A and B are shown apart, each in its own frame.
Chain A
């Protein structure tokens, strides 16, 4: 049994060495500009790189990003491979360095940013500060605005809803700046009355 186990371990190591040799040969052909050999090499090393990346990343998207980083780097440094030396250590070093670069970037990002739950669109922690489109008050507000006199409604729409400057609103409406100011002030006062909001409460 022991002899068999040793044999199978030996043949496994042989097979790995064979793979390394084949990749080395393909790399030499790639250095000579042979596209089919290069494609075959990249296709063959990709699962190997994925296995390395999986040791460092939990998220499968990170694994794939890291594999692509390594492939791009391998492409730019392919002239540094020396056929007299084994291929796998060369590849593994490039892979480890690039994965380390990604991890370092991620740590830095984590230190500066915090994850936001994608289901929430709030800007502020206070729920009152984040009126969403579903709020029932919106319909009330729209009908209240509709009840305003035309000049007040126009001033409010241009200045508060379309967020124009006073000059832009004056040009767009043909009203003077001062009359726009007065109209807006009155419009807000009317809305307060219509919506019966207590002005003392924010």
Chain B
């Protein structure tokens, strides 16, 4: 073990100017703006806007979509906040209310479509598998893009950051999915969406832990 004073000398000698991180709200906002630009360009290029317009007339759809987007935004902001050492851990709960509204509204939509089209059609696998793959496929690049700025924060406790990041990218993917989802949500759809979101959160939690950042190794004891 090196004497602490010696370590302080070494650290002081090696100090170089560092660029301070910008406030997390600004960083999250800039990241979301980037996603908005890319996703907006893809949606416009794919000509998905008119179809989305048709769907907004479905009762409850606007609530559900707004809750999805807000969950994504809140979760991304929470991830940026939690990645810093001195922020409250209560940021973890920020996406919860909108998440509940989102799941509730989706459930309500399912119930409606159950009444309209009947149980047989509601329980068919149909397009649900495609939704599942869509959420996964969009979440992966988003998760990679979110890991890069989060790494710079060097979170000392990565798991809450990763849970929020995973929920954020999954919710944003689900919101983008609605542009390419030309039918009302069924029970199987809801199950597929929830399964995909759970999988994304799990994947980001396990894979992201290695990708994020590791604090310096513990000082080797001389015993």
Contacts and interface: CB of A to CB of B under 8 A. Distances in A.
A31 B157 contact: no
A93 interface: yes
B156 interface: yes
- Consensus secondary structure, chain B interface: loop
Given A32-B17, A43-B8, A65-B219, A77 B154 contact: yes
B84 interface: yes
A117 interface: no
B15 interface: yes
B120 interface: no
B157 A33 contact: no
A80 to B, nearest CB: 5
A112 interface: no
B18 A75 contact: no
A82 B21 CA distance: 8
Nearest to B84: A80
Contacts of A69: 216, 218-219
- Consensus secondary structure, chain A interface: helix
A97 interface: yes
B21 to A, nearest CB: 6
B90 interface: no
Interface string A76-113: 11111111010001100110011001100100000000
Interface string B180-217: 00000000000000000000000000000000000110
Contact of B15 (A35, A72, A73): A35
B215 A90 contact: no
Given A64-B1, A79-B21, A97 B85 contact: yes
A72 B21 contact: no
B4 A46 contact: yes
A174 to B, nearest CB: 48
Contact of A64 (B4, B11, B20): B4
A39 B12 CA distance: 5
Contacts of B216: 69, 72-73, 76
A71 interface: yes
A80 B24 CA distance: 10
Interface string B1-40: 1101101110111111111110100000000000000000
Interface string A51-79: 00000000001101101110111011111
A144 interface: no
A75 B11 contact: yes
A77 B81 CA distance: 15
A56 B219 CA distance: 16
A65 B221 contact: yes
Contacts of B9: 39
Contacts of A42: 8, 11-12
Given A42-B8, A76-B216, 5 more contacts: A65-B219, A69-B219, A71-B7, A79-B18, A82-B20
Interface of A: 30-36, 38-39, 42-43, 46, 61-62, 64-65, 67-69, 71-73, 75-83, 85, 89-90, 93-94, 97-98, 101-102, 105
